[in-house]
Each structure stands twice: as structure tokens, then as C-alpha cells.
Amino acid sequence: MRKKMVNIIVSMTLVIMAIMISQPSSTIFADVTNYTASSGFSTVQGTNQWFYQGYNTSTSSYSNMAWHADAAFPLGGYWRDATQLDCSVTYDQQHDDANCDPNRKWVAPSAGSAHITGNVKKSDLTGGDGVVATIKKNGVTIWGPQSIAYNNGTGYNYDITTNVAASDAIYFVLNKNGNITSDLTRWDPTIALTTVPASNVVTNGSFEAGSGGAATGWSNGTNHARASDKAYDGTYSLKSTATSTSVSSRTVTVAPSTTYKLSAWIYKNNNNGVAYVDMNDIAGEAQVGVSVGAGGGQWVYSEGTWNSGAATSLTIRCVTDSSPTDSIWFDDVELTPVVAGPSWTLNTADTNLTLSETNSGPMITTLKNPTQNFNWTAASTTVPLMSRVDIGATTYTLNWVYASAAVDTTTGTKVTLTYNSTTPALQLKSIWWAKPGVGPVTHTMTIQNNTGSVITVFPQESMDVSVKGSVNPVLWRFNKDAAAPNPTGVHLDTLTAGSNITANTDSKANSAGDNDNIPLVYLDNGGTHGMYVAWEWPHGRINVTASGTSPVTTRIKAGVNTDFKTDIPIGDVFNVPTAYIGTYKGSTDDGANSFKKWQFNYNIPAEMRTNTAEPFVQVNAPNGAPNAAYYPYGAQYEAPLTTYLNSSPTPTSYGIQSITQDYGWWVANHEGDWRADPTNWASGSLAGSGSLMHTKGLKFTLYFLLHDALDNDPNALTSIGPNAHPSWFSNRNINGYGNSVDLGDTAAVSWLQTKLLSVMNTYNVDTFRNDFEPIAYTSAQINRHKYGTDTMYWNARGFYDLLDYMYVNKSGFRYENCNAGGNLKDFATLKRSSVVYQTDIYDALSNRQVFYDSSYAIPSIQLQEPGDINSTWGTGTDKDYAFRSFLLGVPHNSESTAGASGGFTPNTLTFMNKYYNLYNNSIKPLVRDANLYHILPRPDGTNWDGIQYFDPNTTNAIKGAVFLFMPTNAGGNTKNIIFKGLNPATTYTLEFYDRTTQNTTATGAALMSTGLNVTFTGTAKASDIIWIK
């Protein structure tokens, strides 16, 4: 008994969701009755639930129309107003009059969900000024008003779902636009009414029936008894005074192959002991309750889902365990079938998701790749809704009730489900979106505070699904490798019962020893297909657990950390971060290529997608010697930069497209004072340098820190002096100078929006580069955040508000994402990033390792590889080996120590000229558009490594490229390379960049099965590029 309680998932006093078993299953599907206007048309008002009325615009009242016999019409007539005779309703058309709006009204015969679909369009296209169509529920508009032009014979579709009570009315109202000329309009709506027959199969789960301490139908355990001293509702509950294990139980009847929801309310006087409701330890049972250390002094609601499989009965138990020291009460124990109401299909090219509304929230009934045709959610999985908010010291368990659904097909399919809570008054929107092309379905939630008070919200998972493959899946997750590569980088874990793995992420400027994860996990099903979940925020986790017999059921939860809470002001909205869920056929590389193509299409800055010159080859401006007192990472000087920009040949002749002015250009150690240091910058401003770069055909990237300047300049970001705002700064200090700004403060965000735009425009800057934690990891301030666990949430919101403002207000704005390397490899920041500085270490091997890891998650077009390209790399093939290592993603010479002369060494210039132009002409198109395959193991500095690009859709001569590296010949001088992603029937020409004697032709089938033997001579640092044509 004690051992089984380790399986209870506890989140303080929050809802406790039990795992779903994975037997083949179904939910109970509700009865659906269709009501179509034309087929239900009648000569009698109210027949088939349809009524025909005129709305008098003078008196603002509805009245029933009269039947008008006319043999020219179906059924021999139509309905019209008694006095305004043009105001009429036929079996499928309506016409207005001067002061009368025709209305076709449907009245719900019973409670349920009404799915309203159809089209409204003009019938008479000969003249007039058009009409206006509106759909209302009980007088409240739920669609429209929609203006329809006089000659619009195509019209407008509508697709609305709304809950109705018995006798609720849906109105289809037509009114004139200006005059009534030629206003005949075709309007034949259909309403599909879904009724919900859910019922609790646990008789007397409220313990109201009984005599004294005996509850009817229940077998009481020792020191368990029916009692009236405390109840969640009604008068009675089941009370335990046991100090050791005790069980009360009853048998219930269930339908086979049906999904049920088990729920209960439990009250513990203190946090000691365990209390739960289960199913007598049967395999795959639902188990819900309150564990040790939680729940004391309040009623706690718990729920979970279970599929009955072949079972027709089971035993429900109320259990107290683990040595309680005070009383415990159970109430309202329920087991109800999960009833599927209306459903919607959301399809991308490689992910099909069927979404249904149930009495438990959104339910995924189908999740599959259309080609593989394997349903990961055969048992169905319900996404739980937020269970708790506090108002002051009062805790509320939310009573969400489904209200309506709206479908938008403007770009793909977007379904918005709306739920309302009455105590307290909240509105939740669950928004699911499948966009055209390959990629995932996204899920976003918003929670509107309508209570009239400040509320404290608690964790809401962005995604919470249970899935099951055909074998025990392999979980893939990836380190950020921010400050330096993780020793493993790509983590593969075969999931078995009891597996519990968490991929954590945060915004901290981590040291090399901190290795949190990119917020993405893949589940690989035997190498033939898989699914994935990703999460769009810089602070939180993806938790993966497995249970049951092989193949295990895997539960994936993506969201904020379990200790999260934050306040939402009156009338404001809490935005739950977006999650992605997708499927794929093939290998994890195939899944990654699909996900990255979706990011390229929808989730990166538009300029990266539309400007084929992107991504830019970039080098750092020449810098001078570091000044340990003021510029520990190197000082920047105007003179060498000017010399370099005016050099001949020009930087652009070498393929360079952008130059970065890096750390150390500001006044001494005043990092938030964005004026050039007058000692090192003779002109006193960076404006001239920016202008000169543009004249030379270069983009200008400038490094900024959002830190306290600690000076008296009235225009500085500072906590002292005439512009002092000490409340704008956190207590987070990274490099010994100013503290990080706290972007939870809206005034600080507003000031930065205006200031950064002004500075970038004045200095002619194209790209904003940040560093050292623009999203503060911690802060002692209280602003939008106040609990510590919500600091990064609101700092992230503030930072994105800053970036979004810049994209809107500065044409061509670019953002280079750096946070002590690649610590912000989350999809919320990446969707705003032109490039991400993938790591903070600059050698060839480290960059290949980081690229290998990150390219499973992030498009190559964003992965900037910072290389320390200088004479210490040697010459000849050593430098070829090094330069090629930085051509896999976005090359960036990040440590150009050219010195005061403003020139690079001749050897470095030779290799820049060789490779940067090669990159722009031949490699960049692949980085932008091609699929990427990890054809050899992760680089280790000893054995061969390499990656392959291939674009099946390009018309260019070069279809792909293989980059191969032999750090040493410890594994031999010859390597067999198995290609991926080619067309088996096509014959390809393979051309080596260096070793042309190994050029050959082969079919895609041969290259992907037998492969190609490649030979390098020498003992170390050999490399080559093989073009696929």
C-alpha cells in the first residue's frame, strides 16, 4: 500500500492527474441531431424547432410572421411580416424591408452543444447596396455582423460551436445595409445539437444515503465512518480517524472499452499521511489523492482518467495510509464516462490531430502521421485545465464549463475553445492551430480575470498528453551547450515503466558546468516514426514519465515549473506559453527536418525567410588590448575599425556581409551608458562608423548590455543621477559592474523601447546584439512579479515586448541572440532571433559538437558559429579543417584581434576569401532550404564526424553537400558514409572539393544502402566537402 503511493503525482494542493492506461479504447460519444433550415422548413411555426419572425426596428421587438401561400415556392408558400410584406423568410432565403429584419430562429429542445455551420450569400446580384448578416444566441451576437456586397454570390462561411440550455434560441438575422433594393439573400444554416448523457456510476459517492456511520453501499474500513461534521457539499462525507492503513470500498458497474474520469474531494486536517481514491490496485488504474506534505486544512480536488478495457465492474476504494495523525474526509467520489461532444480535425502535411470537447476539457482522440497512420492517442488524452486560483487568502477550485468554439480557416485551421468559470469569474480560451505545410499543431491558452479582484494563478500545463507507441520509445533531448559543449549533448533514453525524466530550461547566463535543455523532446518509435513536443518559453520544463506494461504509456507535460504562481490584475489576461505537438514518419532527423521547416515558415523573423542574402557572414570589428579595469573582455577602438573599412580589397570582396562592434565601446565601465568612450572613439559617436559600414555595403551589429550604467548621464539606463530609477534594476550582477535591468517593470520596458530605437537609428545600427542575461534570472524587486518563481516569466514578457516593438518600429531590425553564448535557445526567443550565438567557446571541435546537438531542434539558418579565426590555427589543411567547421551554420569570426593596424594577417585573409564567398554562393542556399542529416556520430575529437545537407526541391546544380572531418586517424583513414534523404531512383554525381580523384556517380539507392567509402591521408585534421549534384 505504501509502495504504490510513489506513483501518485503531487503538485502541492493542485489537481492530481492519474495516468491513463493504454488499452484500445473509446469514449462515449454523445447523440447528435442535425437541424437544417431548408429540410426543416414548415407551414407551422416551431416545427423541427424552427420559427420565423420579423424584428421591428422601430419598436425593437420580434413578432412571429404569418404564412403566405404562393404556389411558386416549395411547400406552396413562405413566411412574411404582416405589414412590411418584403420582410420574408423562405425555405432557404431571406429578404428585409424598410423597418423589418427577417429572422429565422431555432430553439434548443434540450441542453447540449450546438455546432452551427453554413454559408450566407446574395441571391439577387442585380443591384442595391448589399446586406448585413448576424447570428445571435439569446440576443447576444456570436457571429458577425457581416456585411455582404450587393454582387457577392460567394458569400461567407461560418463555423461556430456554443453550449445551449433547453429553450435557448439561435437567431439568424438579416438587415439592410442602407436600402432594401435587390436584398434577397440565400441563407440555409445547419445546427448539429450534441447532447451529453454523462452520469456518475459511483452510487452514493456523496455519502448522503445511510444510517449513522454506515454509508449505503459502502464497506467501511477500520476507523472510517460516515460523518456530518464536515462535507464539501451536502451534509455528509466519509471520515477517517485511522492512524494506519484503512480502506473503505464499493463495487461499481462500468461499460467496457470506455474512458472514465475518476474524481474526488479530500480534506486533511494537516499535511501528515496519505489519502487517495483508487481502483483496488488493478493494472493501469486511475489513482487520485493527496500525498504526504500536502493538502492540510483545505478541500482538495483530484481527478484522473482511466479506460475500462474489457472490465465490466471494479472496486472503488477510499484509502488512508502512511500514518495520518489527524482526521481526513472524502466527499463527492465520482466515476463518469468521458463524453465526446463536437470534434474538429486539425491537419498539417505530416500531423493529423483530432480534437474533441468533453466534460473534462479538450481531448485529443487522434494524433498520427497521415502516411504512417499510427494513432499515438488511441486511448484518447484529455488536456487538464487550470484547477486553482487564489483571491487573497481564499483558494478556489475552478468550475470550468465549456461555452463555445470558433473555427478560423484563414491560415490553416485554428480552433478556439472557450470555457467559463463562475466561482470565481474567469474565462479560459484553449487555442489549437494547424498551419499549412509540414510541422506541428500549436496550443495556446489565455485566462481572463473577470473577478473584479487581483487573482493569483498557479501552474497551467501548456501541453499535457499521454501517448503510446508500438514499442517502448526512445526519448531524445538536447543540451543547450551554452557556455561550452556538454560531454553528451544528445541524450537518448529508452523509456520503461517508472521512467521519470525532465528537460529543464531557464534564462540564466550559465557557466560551462550548467547544462539545461532546449525545450523539445522527441519520442522515437523503433526508428520508423515518432512524435514530439516542444515548448515556447525560456523558463520551465518538459517532464516525461512512463508507466504500464510494454509498450509503456508515456505522459508528457510541458509548462512552467510546479512552484510557479503569479498575480493577474483585474481585467487582465494570463498568457499561458505556447506548446507544439507533432508527428513524423522516418528517423528523428526526418522529424527534426519537418519541425525546422515549420519554424522557417512561421516561427522566425520574416526578414530571415524573405531575404536570400540571410544569414549574413559576420566578423568582429578589429579591437585593441583589453583594459582589465574597465573592459575585461576587450576594448573597442574607432581607428582600427575605420582603417579596416577603408582597406583594399574591401571586406565585402571576401564575402563579409556584417561587422559587429563587440563588448567595450561605451564609456569606461558604464555598461548602460550607450555613448562611445571619448578616449577610444575620437569622433565621439558610432554614427560615423555605422554610416561608413553602409557605404561599404555592410550591415552594422552593435553589442548592448541591459545593465545599470551607474553614472550621471541624463540619458543613461541608470540607478543614480538625474535619470535615476533604482527600482528598474534587479539584484542580479554578472560581471561585477551594473546589475541587470528588471523587465518586469513596465516603465523600464517603455523607456528602453524609445531609447534603443533612438540609439540604433542615430548610430545607423542594423542588428541589436545582447549578452549577459537580458531576461533577469532573479530579482528582489516587486513589480509584475512578486513571488520569485514568476521573475523570469515577467522578465521574458518585458524582453519580448521590447523586441516586438523594435520589429514594428525599425525597418530591417535584426536581433542577434547571445546570453553568455546560447543560453536562450528557447522557441519564444528564437522566433524573434535572426541568429543565436550557439556557444561561448570558439574552437572548431566545440562548434561542431554544439551544431550537431542544436541542429536537431533549431534551423541551421539561425545557428551562428563563433570562431576564433587567427594564426594559432596554423596554415594549410589545418586551417581548411578549421574554417570548414564554421560553414555548417552561420559563420562568425567572433575574435578578430587585428589590432590597431586594422588588418588581418595575410593567411587569414586568404582563407576568408576562399571560404566566405564559397559559403555565400554554394553553401548558404543549403543552410536556408535543405534537409540536414546527422550521418556520423557526434564529434569527439578523435573519430570521423560529419553532416549532410540535401534539398530535394532545389533547381540549383548543387543539390546537397557532405561535410567530413577526420580529427585523427585513430579509426582508420577510410570511412564508409551512408547517405540519407536521397531519391533512390536518381543517379547523383559526387564531387570532392579537395580530393577530386574520388569523384564518382551512384544512385540514391546505393548511396543510402551500400554507401560510399571515403579516404583521407595523414594522421590528423583532415577534411573535405562532397558536393551532391
Q: Is the pLDDT of residue 103 over 60?
A: yes
Residue 407 or 17, more confident: 407
CA distance 788 to 744: 12
Of 39, 52, 187, 53, residue with least CA distance to 123: 187
Q: Is the pLDDT of residue 5 over 50?
A: no
Do residues 388 and 604 touch, judged by C-beta distance below 8 A?
no
Residue 327 in grid coordinates: 482526521
CA distance 262 to 623: 66
Out of 21-25, 803-807, 824-828, 891-895, pick the least confident: 21-25
Pairing label, strands 343-347, 50-56: unpaired
| Confidence band of 633 (pLDDT split at 50, 70, 90) | low
| Confidence band of 259 (pLDDT split at 50, 70, 90) | confident
Question: Above pLDDT 70, what percent of the chain?
Answer: 92
Residue 573 in grid coordinates: 489576461
CA distance 193 to 110: 9
* 687 phi and psi angles, rounded to 5 deg: -60, -40
Q: Is the pLDDT of residue 494 over 80?
A: yes
Q: What pLDDT sits at residue 140?
A: 86
Q: Is the pLDDT of residue 232 over 80?
A: yes
DSSP string computed for 288-352: EEE-TT--BTEEEEEEEEEE-TT-SEEEEEEEEES---S-EEEEEEEEEE-EE--EEEEE-SS-E
Beta carbons within 8 Å of 868's beta carbon, 6+ residues apart: 842, 843, 894, 895
Predicted confidence (pLDDT) per residue in 679-727, tens digit: 888 898 999 999 999 999 999 999 999 999 999 999 999 999 999 999 9
DSSP string computed for 739-800: PBB-TTSHHHHHHHHHHHHHHHHHTT--EEE--S-SS-S--S--SS--SSTTHHHHHHHHHH
Sketch out the chain's domains with CATH numbers. 3-28+200-338 (2.60.120.260), 31-195 (2.60.120), 341-403+436-603 (2.70.98.60), 616-927 (3.20.20.70), 945-1028 (2.60.40)
Q: What pLDDT sits at residue 634?
A: 58
The DSSP 8-state label assigned to residue 873 in this structure reads G
Q: Tell me, rounded to whole angstroms, the distance of Cα 430 from its chain centroid.
A: 13
Predicted confidence (pLDDT) per residue in 309-367, tens digit: 888 999 999 999 999 999 999 999 999 887 666 789 999 999 999 998 876 689 999 99
Q: Is the pLDDT of residue 22 over 50?
A: no
Beta carbons within 8 Å of 424's beta carbon, 6+ residues apart: 389, 391, 396, 398, 451, 453, 455
Q: What pLDDT sits at residue 25?
A: 38
| Confidence band of 514 (pLDDT split at 50, 70, 90) | low
Residue 153 or 630, more confident: 153
Out of 196-205, 456-465, 648-657, pick the least confident: 196-205
Predicted confidence (pLDDT) per residue in 540-560, tens digit: 999 999 988 899 999 999 999
Q: What pLDDT sits at residue 640?
A: 82
Q: What pLDDT sits at residue 30?
A: 54
The C-alpha torsion from 113 through 118 and 120 to 123, rounded to 10°, is -140
Do residues 584 and 530 touch, judged by C-beta distance below 8 A?
yes
| Confidence band of 963 (pLDDT split at 50, 70, 90) | very high
Out of 227-236, 538-547, 745-754, 904-913, pick the least confident: 904-913
Q: What pLDDT sits at residue 340?
A: 63
Q: Is the pLDDT of residue 635 over 70?
A: no
Rounded to an integer, the average pLDDT of 520-549 is: 96
Pairing label, strands 618-620, 658-661: parallel
Do residues 279 and 47 touch, judged by C-beta distance below 8 A?
no
The DSSP 8-state label assigned to residue 1025 in this structure reads E
Q: Is the pLDDT of residue 594 over 50?
A: yes
Q: What pLDDT sits at residue 896?
A: 54
Do residues 231 and 331 touch, judged by C-beta distance below 8 A?
yes
Q: Is the pLDDT of residue 1018 over 80?
A: yes
Q: What pLDDT sits at residue 425?
A: 94
The C-alpha torsion from 691 through 693 and 697 to 703, rounded to 10°, is -110
Do residues 38 and 48 touch, judged by C-beta distance below 8 A?
no
Predicted confidence (pLDDT) per residue in 147-158, tens digit: 999 999 999 999
Out of 42-46, 340-344, 944-948, pick the least confident: 340-344
Q: Where is 928: in which H helix or E strand?
A: helix 924-929
Beta bridge partners of 1026: 962, 992
Q: Where are the alpha helices (DSSP H) in 959-1014?
A: 1004-1009
Rounded to an integer, the average pLDDT of 396-408 is: 87
Q: What pLDDT sits at residue 285?
A: 83
Q: What pLDDT sits at residue 297?
A: 83
Q: Tell me, rounded to whole angstroms, the distance of Cα 350 from its chain centroid.
A: 17
Rounded to an integer, the average pLDDT of 785-813 is: 98
Q: What pLDDT sits at residue 681?
A: 87
Out of 20-29, 164-173, 712-721, 933-942, pick the least confident: 20-29
Rounded to an integer, the average pLDDT of 26-45 is: 78
Q: Is the pLDDT of residue 993 over 80?
A: yes
Q: Is the pLDDT of residue 893 over 90?
A: no
Q: Where are the alpha helices (DSSP H) in 486-627?
A: 588-602, 606-610
Predicted confidence (pLDDT) per residue in 561-592, tens digit: 989 999 999 999 999 999 999 999 999 999 99
| Confidence band of 626 (pLDDT split at 50, 70, 90) | low
Q: What pLDDT sits at residue 901?
A: 44
CA distance 751 to 744: 13
Rounded to an integer, the average pLDDT of 614-636 is: 70
Do residues 778 and 787 touch, judged by C-beta distance below 8 A?
no
Q: Is the pLDDT of residue 625 over 70?
A: no
Of 475, 499, 492, residue with least CA distance to 548: 499
Q: Is 542 helix (H, G, I), strand (E, B) or coil?
A: strand
Q: What is the mean pLDDT of the chain?
A: 90
Out of 166-170, 197-201, 420-424, 843-847, pick the least confident: 197-201
The DSSP 8-state label assigned to residue 718 in this structure reads B
Q: Is the pLDDT of residue 29 over 60?
A: no
